[in-house]
Structures are given as structure tokens and as C-alpha cells.
Amino acid sequence: MPSQQLPLTNYNIFALQGDDTADDMDVVETMGLDPKVAYTPDINTAAIRKMYNENVDSYIANGMDEEAARNLAKFHADAATASVEAAMRRQMQDFQL
């Protein structure tokens, strides 16, 4: 009897917040992330890290000093991390019996 493949679970923040069309592989391709993070909770960590680095570079390119750029990028990364953690907690509650 052939094994039945379960559908992959999307962990990207959009899917966690209820967007049924947001596929992890689309997020990986759009952001240029390592495909190994698709369908794992690591996708959000990788996306946040990439956005942090891009934000720092952008802020500096727009005239902000490096320390201020890193602080602002960290503020946004911390907010994104909190959103992901809250969404993961909500999803875990939804699946409790």
C-alpha cells in the first residue's frame, strides 16, 4: 500500500495569521531564503534576519548612522518576532483538544 503524503504545514507569518494562500515556498522564493526553512518554524526566523540586515543597509544608505540603523532595525525585528510568537501560540491553542 503506497504511503499517503500529508499536506505540508505552512509556518510563514501570513499563514499563521490565517492567509490560506500564503505558501512557505512562495515566501522563500520571494525573499531569497534557503529552501530548507520552508515548511518549518525556522522560516520566520530566516525572514526576520534577512529583513533586519536589509533594513540596516537601507537605513545607512539613507543617511542614518550605523548604531541608530541597527537599533531601529532591531526594534522592527523584535516586533516581528513578537508577532510570530503570538501567532504560533494562537495556532497551538487552536489545535488543543
Give 25-57 pLDDT, tens digit per residue. Answer: 999 999 999 999 999 999 999 999 999 999 999
Query: In the chain, where are the structural domains located?
Result: 13-94
Residue 2 pLDDT level (bands cut at 50, 70, 90) = low
Cell numbers linked to 57: 543597509
Euclidean distance between CA atoms 42 and 26, whole angstroms: 15
H-helix or E-strand spanning residue 88: helix 66-94
Query: What local confidence, expressed as pLDDT, does residue 3 receive?
Result: 53
Residue in 34, 33, 11 with CA at minimum distance from that of residue 23:
11
Tell me the C-alpha distance between 90 and 86, whole Å.
6
Q: Is 61's pLDDT higher than 90?
A: yes
